[in-house]
Amino acid sequence: MVEHHPFHDLPAAHFIAHHRYHMSLLNWIRGRNGHAGNRAGGKDKARRSFSQTTLPLISPRRGRRILRREQLFGIVRECMIRGGVLSTSYEFKVLALDANADKFLVLVDLALPAETMPSEYLLEIERWVQQSARSRHAMEVPAIYWRRKPSAEQRGTALRASMASQTRNDALVKAGPGAAQTATPVQPVDADEVRAFRQALAQPPQPWRGPRANSDDGLREPVPEAHSDFTALSDTQYGRL
């Protein structure tokens, strides 16, 4: 006996349309999934390319300088610790003297007084740095410049002195010219004193009369000095005396 299937009663055109509908639906779902995957892959690719383009580009010479500076930093720290100087007691910088970073200068700001860290100890630390840099990294350090930071008592000394001087000058300016004359009094010259001074200059000089020598000694009187015709002072920028 042949079983009766419900699809046998449907026309062929309706069956074909129903099949096409299912195929189009499957194709749409697959296409949507593929498009989403492509979009996610594109984002990942763009993210990777962005991260690669933003990496810092360092030239080989600059990279060598950075590496050599770091090496010298380590040497200076080791020598300071060897000399008993704590990292909180100093700050330092290094300065390259050539393009290949084979020579450096070291600048150190030391917060220890001379009583605690004498100059002889600093010279010994400098020799350690030079020897270590030369033997370990073929690096030359011609000199290390040390600068001691002022103590708490020395800080502000110049500033306080300048402020005191400025305050004193401001007080004199505010007081006026009378205060300056009072501070440095000048005694005026009387007219009689000027007249007497001129008369003394006008008189010829008196010859020198020493003790008369005896003729037996064979000594003669000294010749009096010649009298000059210059009887008065010349004019000056302040007027005639």
Question: Domain 61-148 is in which class?
Answer: alpha beta
Q: For residue 104, what is the enclosing H or E element?
A: strand 104-110
On the question of pLDDT at 76 being above 90, the answer is yes
Residue from 204, 196, 201 nearest 234 by CA = 201
DSSP 10: S
DSSP 223: P
Strand positions, DSSP E, 124-163: 144-148
Tens of pLDDT, residues 21-74:
666 767 777 766 655 555 555 666 666 665 555 556 677 888 899 999 999 999
CB 68 within 8 A of CB 139: yes
* Domain ranges across the chain: 61-148
Tens of pLDDT, residues 147-174:
998 766 555 566 666 666 677 766 666 7
The top-scoring range by mean pLDDT among 24-33, 86-95, 202-211 is 86-95
pTM (predicted TM-score): 0.43
Q: For residue 33, what is the enclosing H or E element?
A: helix 12-53
65: number of Cβ within 10 Å: 18
| Neighbouring-strand partners of residue 130 | none
